[in-house]
Amino acid sequence: MNSVVVYGATGHTGRFVVEELLRRGFPTVVSGRDATTLETLASKWGAVDVRPAAVDDPSALDRALQNAAAVINCAGPFASTADPVIDAAGRARIPYVDVAAELEANVSTFGRRSESLVLPAMAFYGGLGDLLTTAALGERTTADEVHVAYGLSSWHPTPGTRAAGQVSHDRRAGRRVRFSGGTLQYHDDKPVQQDWTFPEPLGRRCVIAEFTMADVITVPSHIAVPEVRTYMTLEAAGDLANADTPAPVATDAQGRSDQTFVVDVLVRTGADERRATARGQDIYAITAPLAVEAVRRILAGETWTTGVASAGALFDATDFLKNLPLDVDLP
């Protein structure tokens, strides 16, 4: 079996991805700019191949991907890393998967043409909501509205999350964004609070409406829907906005924080409403099984399309969700 390369293996999410690959028995290559940290982590991981590569060095990226089966890009900001790593994957003729939650980077990636398979936003934000939406729709490929509500007990952002958020903020000159009327719209409206009734045990919570996440890119990429709206619990949004909120701290043997989450998806088509919900622990940790299960299915030929595509377009969404370490309720 050829190796799976993790680019950005030294980051918080990258480490979870490496450990998930090793747990599943995948030969693993760790890559990124920081050779010293890669070597230090490799001494802990053991059976990994270390191939340092700067994102602005195409030859080094080519060496990192040599004889690989696939690459998972965990290195943000993805505005800087996505295109170079996708290009290298194209030269190597291998699938590319990333965990980007940056809207502008996702838009750019979905706008590419590629002969190789490219799967953006295969993460908690973007990938999970897309799978839940697709599972809720069943055989349908159209909807009137999709609502994705994030019920996070807290949000201790990593340095990578903060850096990526700042890049996105700067790229849109501080404006907010919504998906309405079938298009992305940039605006200066003030955030609005409303109540959302999550399944128990969360129940009724105050959320920030139009707290726009990558689902507004992934869902409309393959579902004909004019309105996609995402929401975030007020407490979690406050944690993210507070510059003094510390990074996540491991509280169990898997390295997960004590953060819990509920992702509640409501799909409306005419008078019909369908709901799909997932519950779990640690938004960064759950990204690892999402990305690694995607790679497993891609390499096994368990995909429905080619080129650039989202998780919902690529996979049997219901079956995929049932194979994740989540508590899932589907229609």
Q: Is a pLDDT exceeding 90 seen at residue 200?
A: no
Q: Is a pLDDT exceeding 90 seen at residue 63?
A: yes
Residue 217, φ and ψ in degrees, nearest 5:
-100, -45
d(CA 148, CA 216): 9
> Can you say how many angstroms the Cα of residue 312 is from the centroid of all Cα atoms in its chain?
13
Q: Count up the domains in the chain and report the number.
A: 2
Nearest to 300 by CA among 308, 292, 290: 292
- Tell whether 37 is covered by a domain: yes
Cis peptide bond upstream of 27, omega within 30: no
- Tell whether 176 is covered by a domain: yes
Q: What is the pLDDT of residue 329?
A: 97
Are 108 and 131 found together in one domain?
A: no
Are 279 and 312 found together in one domain?
A: no
Q: What is the DSSP string of 177-223?
A: EEEETTEEEEE-PPPEEEEEEPSTTT-EEEEEET---THHHHGGGTS
Residue 275: give the domain boundaries.
Answer: 125-283
Q: pLDDT confidence of 1, banded at 50, 70, 90?
A: confident
Are 140 and 253 found together in one domain?
A: yes
What is the pTM assigned to this prediction? 0.97
The string of pLDDT tens digits covering residues 77-106 is 999 999 999 999 999 999 999 999 999 999
Scan for tokens 């969404």, then name that residue.
317
- Tell whether 325 is covered by a domain: no
Q: pLDDT confidence of 169, banded at 50, 70, 90?
A: confident
Q: What is the pLDDT of residue 58?
A: 98
Cβ proximity of 225 and 146 under 8 Å = yes
Q: What is the mean pLDDT of residues 217-245?
A: 97
d(CA 278, CA 323): 12
